[in-house]
A = this chain, B = another copy of it.
Amino acid sequence: MRTDLRVIKTKEALHNALLEVLDEKSLDDISISEICRKAKVNRGTFYLHYAQVENLFEEYFKEITADLARSYQEPYRHVTVLNTKELNPDTIRIFHHIEKYQHFYRIVFSKKVPLLYYYLLFEEIKQLLLKDQEAILHEEIDHELHCSYQANAIIGIIIDWYHKDFIYSADYLNRQLVQIVNIQSGNSKGT
């Protein structure tokens, strides 16, 4: 069978305990012992499921990036981000997603946290772009490399946003992204 009731219960207890402690202190100085005390779970049991506190947090994070994929694909299906002519600020839901889960992304982008979360976010966005752009293939350009470029460029904007304490609105960043992506075509038209 897939799910032993005992496993579900312990994992739930650990999840709740982590969320409780995350309100008090930052992820990097939460100890396994502390979580287990709060969850009333033996410390040995923790190691049966996870290796570090970070792995426990990872489970939350994956739920959240799942929401990213859902919200991205919902309103306009198969609308490309790179096909600049048709680029509509409303098609990009990434910034709104980050804004919505700001609390979590403050943790994900804090400098003491392992790179792992960054890669999870990167891969999620990259996969969305890869699917979206199956149609638009440029000769001589490695398609995957291109998506890595584009996905991480977007995260670059998010990093800037994070370092400025999320003062911009998601809508503003959408408009900026459209402007940036359109620079070259704008220039070559002579604007």
Taking Cβ atoms with an 8 Å cutoff, the residues of A that contact B are: 82, 84, 109-116, 118-119, 122, 138, 140-142, 144-146, 148-157, 159-160, 173, 176-177, 179-185, 187-189
Contact = CB atoms under 8 A, between A and B. Distances in A.
Identical chains bound together, number? 2
A181 B82 CA distance: 12
Contacts of A160: 144-145, 148
Nearest to A160: B148
A138 B179 contact: yes
Nearest to A148: B160
Given A144-B160, A156-B151, A188-B185, A116 B111 contact: yes
Main secondary structure of the interface of A (DSSP, over half): helix
B141 A149 contact: no
B153 A156 contact: yes
Nearest to A153: B153
Nearest to A122: B159
A149 to B, nearest CB: 5
Contacts of A150: 153, 156
A115 B111 contact: yes
Contacts of A181: 184
B156 A149 contact: yes
B142 A176 contact: yes
A114 B119 CA distance: 12
